[in-house]
Each structure stands twice: as structure tokens, then as C-alpha cells.
Structure 1
Amino acid sequence: MDNTKPIIKYLDVLIILLLLIVTILGVCSFHTSFSYEFVNQYGQKVQMWGAGIYAHDSYFKAPIFIGSDFTILLFVVPLSIVTFFKAKKKQSMEYDIRSFGIVSLLLYYSASLAFGVTYNRLHLIYIALFGMCSFSVSVLFAKFHAAGVRQGKVCSYPFTKGMKVFLLAAGISLFAAWLPDIIISIAKGTSLELIEVYTTEITYVLDMGIISPLIFITYYLVRHGDFIGYVFLRMIFKICMCIGIMLPVQTFFQLSAGISIPIPALITKCLTFVVMAFFAAYFDYRLKRETQYISSADNYNEGRH
């Protein structure tokens, strides 16, 4: 008997409820008339947002957070509800893998809030959301790992040359997008150019410290026929697709707030990821269509939530 069934069920519901609170309040914080200037810990003048839950975040970063909230609310929350519901109704490994991709994306989002946003009255909710996403990802990962150990070969699927190139390009691009900023600041002996009121850049930490290495690990696991590599591959495609939607939305909110963004920055830190999102969507579609689960994988349903 699977004792995790009720745990996952309640986690899914609570995650959706917390997402609604966080994203709605975040989107409602888009007001550009409350900004003020502040001298940060580096002795620099910084323009602050001044409105809503992002009142103490910078004028540059707040629209980015709001753009993320808008994307999650408009696209990811409905997708999560449909995916979680189908995962329970269909009781198949395929829908569990889709759930894993969604919750992994939400783990990234919740980590960005919990560690990247200036302290505000939603901090406990950020912590709760991060914790629940972490538990959900861990439980699903344990199930996939157990299925791989128990059944050996769980499914067959194409791992094309295009997918290989995509993984290598994605892993490298995350460093290419953020590493120059860090190298330049270290060489000059200064803080990051847009560090503003923050002590670290959480996106750099997550992308270069976790996501990029995970992409290369996934490449290795898939090449060696490890089932968990296939799960990670589907998850990476899901995250890339969402990032490809989120970055233009974030840019839209920044431009709507009157923030000027240089064309080179738009190309390297927006357009590149949008193009990657199209490839990710194609590869994910092909995997869903061409993956064949081994008949013995039916035993997995006995441990399904």
C-alpha cells in the first residue's frame, strides 16, 4: 500500500492555493507612482518600487517579479490544476512525469521568491510554498527512482541529435548569460551592476549552481539509459518552455514601468531563451508522442497517488 497517496493529494491542493495568494497579490502590486530613492548598502542611489508586496524591492526588479507572478497565475496555475487532476484520474506514469515537471518549475519559482525577494508580509507563505514544492518533488523523485530500480528498463524513447545539441547549448547558455556579469564585477572589485538592494543574485545561483549542472547530468544519464534521466529530460523541457513565456512577460512589465532595456540585453537574456523554448516544446511533444512504456511499468500504478 502506498502511504504517500494522501500526502501528494493534499500537497497538490495546498500548492495551488498558495500560488493563488502569492501571484494575485504580486500582480496587484503593479503601481508605478509610489517609487522613491534609497541609498543601498553599497553607497549607491537606488530607485525603489514602493507599492504592494514589492514595496521594498528595487524599481528594476519588482516588474520582473510581477511578470513572473503574472505568468504563473495566467499559464502555470491552470496547467497545474489540469495536470494534477489528470495525474490522479489517469493513474499513469506519464502523468506523474508531467506533474514532476510542473512541481519542479514551481520549486524554482518558490525558491526565487523565498530567497530573492526582499522580506515582506508574505514571507511565511513563500516558505510554505517552497517547502511543499520540495516535498512533492522529493516524493515523486523517490517513486521514479524506485520504479527504475525495480523494473530496470521502464520505457523506450528517442534521444535525437537535436535533443543532445539542445541540452549542451542550454547548459552552456546559462553560464554565458550570467557569468560575464560576475567576472566583470570581480575584476573591477565592485558589486554586481544591478545588485541594488540585494546581497546576492538568486537567478545566478539557481541557473549556474543547479540547473546547468543538472542539464549535463541529465545528458549523461540519458546516454546511459537511466530512467531518471528521462524524467529529468522531460522536466528540463517543461521549465525551458515556461521560461520562454515568462521572460517576454517580465520584459513587458519592465517596459510598461518605463525601464529602458538595451537591445543586446534583450537578445542575450530574452530572445535566446524564447528560441530555446520553441525547441523545447517540439522535443517535449515528440517525446510524449513516441515514448513507449514497458508493460511491466503497469506495476507502478499500484504505488500511484
Structure 2
Amino acid sequence: MPGLVAAVGAAAAAVGLLWRPSADPVTVVTPRGQSARLAGSGLYRYDTVFTATNNTAVDAVVLAFGIPLVVRAWLEHRKASPRGTLLLAGSLGYLLYVYANYALGVAYNPLYLAYVTLLSGSLFGFVAALSETSRAALAAAAADPDLPHRSLSWFLLASAAVTAVVWLQPLVTALLQGTAPDLLDVYTTTVTYSLDLAVITPAAALAGLLVRRREPFGYLLAAPLLVTIVLLLPSISLATALQVAAGISFTPAQVVGPISGFAVLGAVGGWLLARLLRAVPTSVPGPAPDVAVSDVAGRGGETPGSGP
């Protein structure tokens, strides 16, 4: 399954990067009576200029980081490395997030079936990787005194809170004003908002609480969240550069704020991900050795709790 995801994902991302717009954007009127600019040509011709440039940035990050990460983790997983299996779950979780957005949110284009394939492959590969991750290895990570457990817990809880606040603010404002959220444009709903609020936010909160209690499942759940957070920084930075080049205007605060914010999140998330992977053994921990009868005899035949 990871091999299929890597092959199809690399091909889809490459097509997205090579099949770029070759004409001016097309202005259309949305069903809500607003005007929006579509890319007009290229793979993402029916997406808005804002979304098309964001998709191009994601394609570049998937091809440069996401696919190599899956391949590397898969090779380690095939060597029965718990660390490799955990990283495989993390990298497939990232691709699951990406292609859930693509399959459900990108305007229909010739790669639709590829997006559905990637959504299915990354979903079932992710579930398989979760189920195959050694619980003994996760327990070892949970007991590792060198892993910053409290920092990891607070980071996950803070990520959940920030995501909820950032996405709920425009949605609640639009609801109170009786209008559509900004940047909805020609789309019927906000898929990214839906996934982030329904899946990412509660998953991050749950992981943070479980890590605080040193529950092994919390560390398993943290891996895909950390990988996704780390890879958001290059995605947002490149998307902003492409959007500015495409003529979308931003205030300095709109550029500096998100990039600097995600730079901090990416740096901290990368550090925590590295520490988490380091705490996971490279081989499955074995059971504690039984005490041999000869060892007991050598100690005078004493048994626990025996009297003089």
C-alpha cells in the first residue's frame, strides 16, 4: 500500500507542478452573486487563483518531502523497525490529510480518480501502520525520561486551541452576519475547515491529554499531527509567494503573521518529532528475562518474602 501511495502521489504532484496556467485568469460570478477569479488554464483551471496556487505549493511539498518521507519510513518498516512504522503512520497521515482535501475540495479535474485512489490508499495504509506499531515500543517512549512529555502535551493542546480559534472566528462571524465565509468563492463548502475542526482539532486535543497521562496511544496519535504541522511551513510559505506572484494582494501583516507563526510551530514541532522518534526503539523491546532457578539457588535458595 505505501508503494502505491508513493507512486501515484509522486505522479499526481508532478502533473500539478508541470501543468501550470498558461493564460490569464477568468473572472466569473459565483452563485452568491460575488465575483471570483478562476485560474482558467492548467490542471487547476476551475479552481480560484488563490486555491490553484495553494495546490501547486502543496504539490511541491508532497513531491519534495512527503513522498520521500513515506518511502524512507516504508523501507525502515519493512526491516521491522518500530521507529520506521511510527514514521510511516505519520507520513501516511499527512498524505491522508492532503488528499482528503484534494478528493473532497479541489474542483473536478482529470486527476480526480488519482485523488480518490490516494485518499483510499493513504487511509487504509495509515490504519494499517497504526495497528502495526509496536505497543511495547510506544510504552518505552512513554517511559523515556529524556522525551519532553510535558512540552509535547502542551504543544498538541495549544495546536488544537489555535486551530479551533483561527477557523471558528471567520465561520462564526459569517454565520452572525448571514454571509458566506471569506474565500468561499465558487466552492460549495469549506472542506479544510471541516477536516480541521472535525478531525485535526479533537485529535490534537486527545493526543495532548493522553501524552500528559503517558498513555502510549497518545504518542502514536501525535506522530501524524507533528508531521503535518512541520510540512505546513514550506506549504504556506511557497503558497504565499505564488499568490503574490499571481497578483493577489496581502498586507504585510497577512504575510508576516502566518509565515512567522507557522515558522515557530514548524520549528517546535520538528524538534518534538525528532525527540519522539529518538525515544522509540529501533527494534521491538523483548520481555524482561525470567530469573533462572540456578540464580536463585546461588543466592542461598531465598525467594521473595521468605523468612530467615
Fold-level similarity (TM above 0.5): yes
Shift of the 236–151 alpha-carbon distance from structure 1 to 2, 3 Å rule, reads closer
The amino acid across from 2:259 in the alignment is C
For residue 28 of structure 2, give the secondary structure of its aligned residue in structure 1.
strand
Q: Indicate how the Cα distance of structure 1 residues 176 and 262 shifts in structure 2: closer, same or farther if over 3 A, else same.
A: farther
Q: 1:257 aligns with which of 234, 246, 249?
A: 246
Instruction: Output the amino acid matched with 2:235.
Output: M
Q: Which residue of 2 is the match for residue 197 of structure 1?
A: 186
Cα offsets for 1:128-151 (capped at 9, x unmatched) = 11001111011122233xx53x89
**Superposition deviation, residue 223 in structure 1:** 2.5
User: 22, 34, 45: which is aligned to 1:55?
Assistant: 45
Does the alignment pair 1:246 with 2:244? Answer: no
Q: How does 1:88-237 map to 2 (within 5 A)?
A: 88=78, 90-144=79-133, 147-148=134-135, 153-155=139-141, 156-157=143-144, 158-237=147-226
Q: Which moved further from structure 2: 272-281 or 74-83? A: 74-83
Cα pair 1:151 1:296 within 8 Å, conserved: no
**2:13 matched to which residue of 1?**
23
* Structure possessing the higher relative contact order (Cα contacts under 8 Å, 6 or more residues apart): 1
Q: Is the 2:138–2:217 contact (alpha carbons within 8 Å) kept by the matching residues of 1?
A: no
Please give the secondary structure, in 1, of the residue aligned with 2:37: strand
How far has the Cα of 1:201 moved from its partner? 1.2
**C-alpha separation in 2, matches of 1:297 and 1:85:** 26
3-state DSSP of counterpart to 1:220? helix
Instruction: State the secondary structure of the residue aligned to 1:280.
Output: helix
CA contact (8 A) 1:38 1:48 kept: yes
Matched residue type, 1:28: L
Residue in structure 1 matched with residue 58 of structure 2 by the alignment: 68
Deviations 1:261-284 (A, max 9, x none): 223333443321221010011112
In structure 1, C-alpha distance between the alignment counterparts of 2:220 and 2:274, rounded to whole Å? 14
- Which range moves more in the overlay, 267-276 or 167-176? 267-276
Give the equivalent residue in structure 2 for 1:273.
Answer: 262
Residue type matched to 1:111 in 2?
A
Quick one: distance in 1 between partners of 2:206 and 2:196? 14
Q: Give me the whole-angstrom Cα distance separating, in 1, the residues matched to 2:23 and 2:152.
A: 46
**SS, match of residue 52 in structure 1:** coil
- Equivalence for 2:29: 39
RMSD of aligned Cα (Å): 2.2
Tell which structure's C-alpha radius of gyration is larger.
2
TM-score (norm 1): 0.86
Provide the C-alpha distance between the structure 1 equivalents of 2:277 and 2:84, rounded to a whole number of angstroms: 10
Quote the offset at 1:120 in angstroms. Answer: 1.2
1:114 Cα deviation (Å)?
Answer: 0.3
- Alpha-carbon distance between aligned partners in 2 of 1:49 and 1:122, rounded to the nearest angstrom: 16
- Say how many residue pairs are matched: 284
| Separation (CA, whole Å) in 1 of partners of 2:156 and 2:120 | 28
TM-score (norm 2): 0.85
- One-letter amino acid matched to 1:43: G
Task: Decide whether the 8 Å contact of 1:49 with 1:62 is kept in 2.
Answer: yes
1:7 equivalent in structure 2: none
Secondary structure of 1:54 counterpart: coil
Which residue does the alignment assign to 1:4?
none
Gap runs ≥5 in structure 2? 289-308
Partners of 2:92 and 2:224 within 8 A in 1: no
Rate the CA distance shift 1:29–1:254 in 2: closer, same or farther, 3 A.
farther
SS in 1 for 2:32: coil
What's 1:301 paired with?
none
Structure 1: 5+ residue stretches without partners: 1-10, 299-305
Distance 1:202 1:241 in 2: 21
